[in-house]
Structure 1
Amino acid sequence: MVILGLTGSIGMGKSTTAAMFRDAGVPVFDADAAVHALYRGAAVEPVEAAFPGVARDGTVDRELLRQRVLDDPSVLRRLEAIVHPLVRAERAAFLAEAAGAPLAVLDIPLLYEIGAEAEVDAVAVVSAPEAVQRARVLARSGMTEARLDAILRQQVPDAEKRARARFVIDTGAGLEAARSTVAAVIAVLTGKSGD
Structure 2
Amino acid sequence: MYLIGLTGSIGMGKSATATLFQEAGVPVYDADAAVHALYEKGGVAVAPIGALVPAAIIDGAVDRTILGQHVLKDVDKLRALEAIVHPLAGQSQFDFLRQAQADKAPAVVLDIPLLFETGGEAFVDCVVVVSAPFEMQKQRVLARAGMSEERFNDILAKQVPDEDKRAKADFIVDSAISIEDARTQVHAILEAIKGRVGHAFEARMARFKARSGNDSGTGSKGAPE
On whether the aligned pair clears a TM of 0.5, the verdict is yes
Q: What are the equivalent positions in structure 2 for 1:7-86 lying under 5 Å apart?
A: 7-40=7-40, 41-86=43-88
Alpha carbons 1:2, 1:190 under 8 Å: kept:
no
| Structure 1: stretches of 5+ with no match in the other structure | none
The count of residues paired between Structure 1 and Structure 2 equals 192
Deviates more, 1:49-58 or 1:20-29: 49-58
**How far off its partner does 1:185 sit?**
1.0
Answer yes or no: is 1:97 the counterpart of 2:102: no
Q: Give the partner amino acid of 1:160.
A: D
Matched, 1:2 2:19: no
Residue in 2 that maps onto 1:138: 142
Structure 2: give runs of 5+ residues left out of the alignment: 197-225
2: CA distance between counterparts of 1:53 and 1:133? 30
TM-fit CA distance, 1:104: 0.2
Amino acid at match of 1:122: C
Residue aligned with 1:29, SS: strand
Asked if 1 retains the 8 angstrom alpha-carbon contact of 2:52 and 2:77, the reply is no
For 1:42 and 1:137, the matched residues in 2 are separated by 29
Segment drifting more, 47-56 vs 102-111: 47-56
- For normalisation by structure 1, the TM-score amounts to 0.94
- Please name the residue that 1:128 is paired with: 132
Q: Structure 2-normalised TM-score?
A: 0.82
Amino acid of the residue matched to residue 38 of structure 1? L
1:157 aligns with 2:169: no
Code of the residue aligned with 2:81 in structure 1: it is L
Contact 1:103 1:189 in 2 (8 A): no
- Which region of structure 1 is more displaced relative to structure 2, 146-155 or 68-77? 68-77
- How much has 1:175 moved relative to structure 2? 1.5
Residues 103, 190 of structure 1: 8 Å contact kept: no
Deviation at 1:10, TM superposition (A): 0.5
Residue 9 (structure 1) shift: 0.4
1:39-74 CA distances to partner (integer Å, 9 max, x unpaired)? 121111221122233222321121221111011223
Contact 2:5 2:112 in 1 (8 A): yes
Q: Give the Cα separation in 1 of the matches to 2:121 and 2:53.
A: 29
Structural RMSD (CA):
1.3
Deviations 1:114-162 (A, max 9, x none): 2211221111000001111011111112221111111111110000011
